[in-house]
Amino acid sequence: MNTGDSAPEKVREAAAGFDRATALWDATDTGRIEDCRQALEQVTATMSEARAILLANGDAPPEIRAQMTAIRAGTLRLERLVDAASALVRTASPATTECAPVYDCAGTIASESLSTNPGVEA
């Protein structure tokens, strides 16, 4: 942390970082999900620096507190979206890759046994 930085400067930096993270967000692009996550980590680190400056200098002005509260709330919402999209990608990945067929007890591929055996109803 640069000792010349003030809390308002750090809050502005965090707000700009949050705007960057929001611009990066795209749930359909795994690379951008990761870029957004990294941007949010930087926002969180910058907010921690601002909080440390405020604790060292005393109480924060109400407008700084309001900005910090808004940034934190937005960051939490976007973090939830990033987490959910990351979980979906992890869950969907095995389903979209080639897998070995699953055989039933009769030795036929399980997905084919329902469609080729007229005596079995789904």
Is the Cβ–Cβ distance between 82 and 26 less than 8 Å? no
pLDDT tens for 21-76 read 999 999 889 899 999 999 999 999 999 999 999 989 887 789 999 999 999 999 99
Band (pLDDT 50/70/90 cuts) for residue 108 is: low
Q: Is the pLDDT of residue 18 over 70?
A: yes
Quick one: what percent of the chain has pLDDT higher than 90?
53
Q: Is the pLDDT of residue 95 over 70?
A: no
Token pair of 85, please? 């999209």
Band (pLDDT 50/70/90 cuts) for residue 102 is: low
> What's phi and psi for 103, nearest 5 deg?
-100, 145
Query: How many of the other CB atoms lie within 10 Å of CB of 86?
Result: 16
Mean pLDDT of 86-97: 70
